[in-house]
Amino acid sequence: MLVRKRLGGPLAKYFDQTLEDEFWGEKSWEKAESKIIKEATQMVISKSGISSQNIDCVFAGDLLNQCISSTFGLREINIPFLGVFGACSTFVESLSLGAISIEGFANYVLCATSSHFCSAEKQFRFPLELGNQRPPTSQWTVTGSGASILSKTGNGPYITNITLGKIVDMGIKDANNMGAAMAPAFIDTLIAHFEDTGRSPNYYDEIISGDLGYIGKDIAIDIAKSKGYNIKSNYNDCGVLIFDKNSQDTHSGGSGCACLATVFSGYFFKKLKEKKLRKLLLIATGALMNSTSSQQGESIPGIAHAISIEL
């Protein structure tokens, strides 16, 4: 599910639903975001054919202070609720915890996240009414929600491996250059994954991050190369994929919890189901800061969690 920026984008046709405006009939952006995650979770439950009574728990979180998009959006869902926060890494964190639960007590786990350009800009940067100019390094928060249900049984695709990331802080302080702040965490988790599994980049059909954007993607390719890993040929980023660089002026690309969540759930999951893609490494990155920490001169700690999804 996605609100299309200027009603377009190269992946628009893959999404279950697109919205014409940012309020979707609600009185505030926060209420709209809650409605988006509510509808996305209802849609994935409906499409799965699984009764919500049989879903053991839901892992969800978002960018809003105290994750209110998820808690208000899912307050009527009547499924045990576990709030998670990993900024833009939230969706893969949820899938990781879901997979751990599926290995244990759970038969079905719902994972969901959302973000909203307007509620995020208002909260992290400036009132939208100011019309502030955005620097070339800035990314555009995706308005949307992605949701997945994990099952103990089924015909795949399967989550075959999880690499949980450590916090990495290289001292970047520019809140308008999140790609640079998060790229070192991406590399840390990428290398940990290869070392843990003994795999190399060419094991995967695609290595996908979210959301480093154009600038962070280039930094990531360069650092990986300096560490002896060539990912240039099969690596891409959801923030690069979701918007069209020429017709949609998003500067360094997309971001927000919903960027990877919609690109994975809408695009890559369908490619996996259609067997056009067999081995995917999905690495979500998050910037673990808030507006107060930036005002107090702090740097931006990054994190990245990785899951491999295979047929």
Count of Cβ atoms closer than 10 Å to residue 238 Cβ? 32
CB of 116 to its own copies, least distance (A): 12
Query: 24 near 9, Cβ under 8 Å?
Result: no
Which residue, among 166, 194, 179, has the nearest Cα to 308 in the 3D structure?
Answer: 194
Give the nearer residue to its own copies in terms of CB position, either 3 or 32.
32
Dihedral angle of Cα 194, 197, 198, 201, to the nearest 10 degrees: -40
Stretch that binds its own copies, among 97-105, 198-206, 214-222, 268-276 (CB under 8 A): 97-105
Nearer to its own copies, 14 or 85 (CB): 85
Token pair in block for residue 193: 């994954």
User: Residue 57, interface with its own copies (CB under 8 A)?
Assistant: yes
Between 76 and 274, name the residue whose CB sits nearer to its own copies. Answer: 76
Which residues, other chains included, contact 33 with Cβ-Cβ below 8 Å and sequence gap of 6+?
A: 62, 64, 69, 73, 114, 115, 116, 119, 143, 145
Residue 13 interacts with its own copies (CB under 8 A)?
no
Pairing of strands 302-310, 158-163: antiparallel
Pick between residue 103 and residue 249 the one whose CB is nearest to its own copies.
103
83 part of the interface to its own copies, by CB under 8 A: yes
Structure tokens at 64: 């809003």
What are 220's two structure tokens?
Answer: 């990531």
Q: Is 67 in the site for its own copies (CB under 8 A)?
A: yes
CA dist., res. 93 & res. 129, Å (int): 34
Work out the end-to-end distance of the chain between its first and last CA atoms, rounded to an integer number of angstroms.
Answer: 24
Q: Which is nearer to its own copies, 163 or 248 (CB)?
A: 163
Residue 241 C-beta: closest distance to its own copies, Å: 25
Stretch that binds its own copies, among 80-88, 152-160, 210-218, 241-249 (CB under 8 A): 80-88
Q: Is 211 in the site for its own copies (CB under 8 A)?
A: no
| CB closer to its own copies out of 105 and 126 | 105
User: Among residues 164, 197, 203, 218, which is the contact residue for its own copies, using CB under 8 A?
Assistant: 164
Rank residues 176 and 236 by Cβ distance to its own copies and give the closer one: 176
Interface stretch with its own copies, choices 38-46, 61-69, 131-139, 238-246 (CB under 8 A)? 61-69
Q: Which residues of 210-232 are buried (b: 16+ CB within 10 A; e: fewer)?
A: bbbbbbbbbbbbebbeeeebebe
CA angle 76, 150, 140 (to 5 degrees): 75
Should residue 68 be labelled a site residue for its own copies when binding is judged by CB under 8 A?
Answer: yes
Q: Kindly tell me which residue out of 135, 167, 270, 273 binds its own copies, with binding defined by CB under 8 A.
A: 167
Give the helix/strand (H/E) hosting 290.
none
Q: Which two tokens stand for residue 244?
A: 């069209």
Which residues between 244 and 303 bind its own copies (CB under 8 A)?
288-293, 296, 298, 301, 303
**Least Cβ distance, residue 296 to its own copies (angstroms):** 6
Q: Could you give the CA distance from residue 39 to residue 28 in angstroms, rounded to a whole number?
A: 16
Which among 74-82, 110-118, 174-182, 218-226 is the span making contact with its own copies, rule CB under 8 A?
A: 74-82
Residues in contact with its own copies by the rule CB under 8 A: 27-28, 30-31, 57, 61, 63-68, 71-72, 74-87, 93, 96-97, 100-101, 103-105, 164-167, 169, 288-293, 296, 298, 301, 303
